[in-house]
Amino acid sequence: MSVSEACEVLGVAPDCTDDEIVQSHRRLIQKLHPDRGGNDYLAAKINEAKSVLLKRRA
């Protein structure tokens, strides 16, 4: 997944802060987690997007 794709998934700007990434991830995963009626695919994409965006700063 590219950085631009990850930004689209999480709904954040490319120059967002780590806090914005974490907050967006938390908000989405609470809605789309498999235990709450979401599915594994969407949860995996949200997690991958968070990982890509946080790793680019490391």
Domain 3-55 superfamily per CATH:
DnaJ domain (1.10.287.110)
Q: How far apart are CA 44 and CA 58, in angstroms?
A: 21
Give residue 55's pLDDT.
Answer: 92
Q: How far apart are CA 30 and CA 12, in angstroms?
A: 17
Domain ranges of the chain: 3-55
What are the tokens at 50?
A: 């968070």
pLDDT in tens, 7-47: 999 999 999 999 999 999 999 999 988 888 888 999 999 99
Residue type, 13: A
Q: How far apart are CA 30 and CA 42, in angstroms?
A: 12
Q: What is the pTM of this model?
A: 0.87
Neighbours of 46 (CB within 10 A): 23
